[in-house]
Structure 1
């Protein structure tokens, strides 16, 4: 028997390449690979998660922004307080409250409260790097004095409340300025969110005394020669300083040594309360005029008001829509009101402060001992 193996040769299929023959002998798999994609439910879940994360993150972002605004507000008051203290060092007295709401700052009248009709903000200008603005009305330049009023100053506005822009001059009670004409600037003026401490007795009003009068012409000094100083009579007292308990009031001429309760325990200035409905339109009678005016609700506030026959506290409030208060300090901040003390420091005063502690901080000479931990 022949054991030689027999081999059969398979003829090559004509017309097929090597790769084609391999595919023919090994046909491709019929298994389908799945395509990855979100279902509608999965997409909704992702969107929900993103929404929750944004909702959690947004308050944190807003809180961070408000914290930054509060830092800026505090710095505004710090610089303002330092300007007032520098004023005291140079002139020998703190900036005066001025003559009243019908008067604006006049650079020709210097810093003497007997002569200068403008309020404490105007008097602080040279000490807050605003000498050029202060001097616009030099040489009896009435138009220049008007332009001063029409200049917003960023340091005078709290960034949590409103920007430093021009606002309408409304002048409830026809209190238009005597020594310049706002019609030349379209009755648009800068405003302030900060007010001086006028004391704890709002019965001692700026309207209980008039500007210094010269009997020869019957009109306030500054418009006629002489500049004679006429003593003021407030609430039946012979001297305004006897009745006024704050540090910035009508014709104030106060030194730091007269703050007998201590500069660290007496307010100098702070944020004023405003109705948010009136931030921009001037409808609030205590926020309707220019920042460089003489003393008025626009530029001073109190820590105490008359309650019948007695004097009660006027605590600080957070700005509230629909509620107007002309006397109080207050703020747009949710956690308190920024107040500068007469030592130049700035404190955040909580709205929950003991009202009588707040009242006493507005009085420079009541002799009350105040625990520093209470404010």
Structure 2
């Protein structure tokens, strides 16, 4: 038998109890295994997560805006296709109606006799369902024109600009040929009238007055754009080149008036006649949406620039810093 085993055999009951007690006391004073986090560690993790979210959010927002901008450009392309179908059918680009006090009339066909503007005139080429003519019944015709003013036209809305399908209309422009309604459908796109402001008024007070040869319409001899009061511009007259001339584009809207009728360029139905709502000029560069009102300027809610439809059907993004002279020239057809 070894010395170790002999000593172990000689250990008595009292020694065993003392050894066991010593082991228990030692275990009681040993630190327990940690299973949680300290406050410092928790705050550090939260800080790291916050930094990562701060880095990711701008990228996500940029990706979303990029998708909305592409959608906006695609809508303008569709408008361009519809306009070219119109031009092929009628041998001229659409006119812009009679004036801001008039609404589109399904009984009046297409052309200078149509009091509604360019959007109504190309709507049939956009697969937009429109009400049928009701020429026999005057009351039904009035109702049709009134209902038309609040008919949503999703193609005419930019996805980057907030707003509902219907928004408030201004009572200052009560129509001659329809009943005023408080909520109407509006457009984010406007036709190019050029660099010369014709300053069109509300138009004749009745259909009979407008049909008379003796009626004095606003003089548009100096109009150098493509779509304006009762216009019939042909492609041959766009001597500046179809690929170098604006046909239409996004319009500036005051960001403070997205949902009301306080911006005079965004307060009427898209099925109105020529108005600040339906046409813009290139007398000033495009403006990014702000709380200011630029009722004659093109512009948009996109941070990178304003989308413009050219007469050849192409769509280009025009930077807000474009030289004023260049922008002005691209609005003229000569």
For 1:229 and 1:116, the matched residues in 2 are separated by 15
Counterpart of 1:182 in 2: which secondary structure?
coil
Asked if 1:189 is matched to 2:179, the reply is no
Whether 1:272 and 2:251 are equivalent positions in the alignment is: yes
Counterpart-to-counterpart distance in 1, 2:255 and 2:206: 38
Decide whether the 8 Å contact of 1:213 with 1:229 is kept in 2: no
Q: Tell me, yes or no, if the aligned pair for 2:176 and 2:205 is still in contact at 8 Å.
A: no
Q: 1:296 aligns with which of 259, 262, 275?
A: 275
Give the equivalent residue in structure 1 for 2:12: none
Aligned to 1:108: 107
1:253-286 deviation line (CA, Å, top 9, x unaligned): 1111111111101000001111111111111112
Structure 2 match to 1:342? 311
CA contact (8 A) 1:154 1:164 kept: no
Partner residue, 1:317: 287
**Matched residues, number:** 318
Tell me, yes or no, if structure 1 residue 80 matches structure 2 residue 79. yes
Q: Distance in 1 between matches of 2:268 and 2:44?
A: 55
Aligned to 2:124: 126
Evaluate the alpha carbon distance shift between residue 123 and residue 262 of structure 1 in structure 2; reply closer, same or farther with a 3 A threshold. same
Contact 2:163–2:258 (CA under 8 A) maintained in structure 1: no
Unpaired runs of at least 5, structure 2: 1-5, 10-16
Distance in 1, matches of 2:183 and 2:151, equals 9
Match in the other structure for 2:264: 285
CA–CA distance in structure 1, aligned partners of residues 322 and 155 of structure 2: 26
* CA-to-aligned-CA distance 1:143-162 (integer Å, 9 cap, x gap): 12211111122211111112
For 2:176 and 2:133, the matched residues in 1 are separated by 14
- Distance between the aligned counterparts of 1:356 and 1:318, measured in 2? 18
Are the aligned partners of 2:98 and 2:273 in contact in 1 as well (CA < 8 Å)?
yes
Q: Structure 1: any 5+ residue segments left out of the alignment?
A: 1-6, 11-20, 222-227, 305-313, 366-375
Which TM-score applies when normalising by structure 2?
0.87
TM-score between both structures, scaled by the size of structure 1? 0.78
Aligned to 1:4: none
Contact 1:119/1:292 (<8 A) preserved? yes
Give the C-alpha shift of residue 32 in structure 1: 4.6
The alpha-carbon deviation at position 76 of structure 1 amounts to: 1.3
| CA apart distance, 1:34 | 2.0
Rounded Cα–Cα distance in structure 1 between residues aligned with 2:239 and 2:110: 24
Aligned equivalent of 1:14:
none
| Structure number having the greater helix percentage | 2
Structure-1 separation of matches of 2:46 and 2:311: 54
- The answer as to whether partners of 2:104 and 2:145 remain within 8 angstroms in 1 is yes
- Does the aligned pair in 1 maintain the 2:100–2:203 contact within 8 Å? no
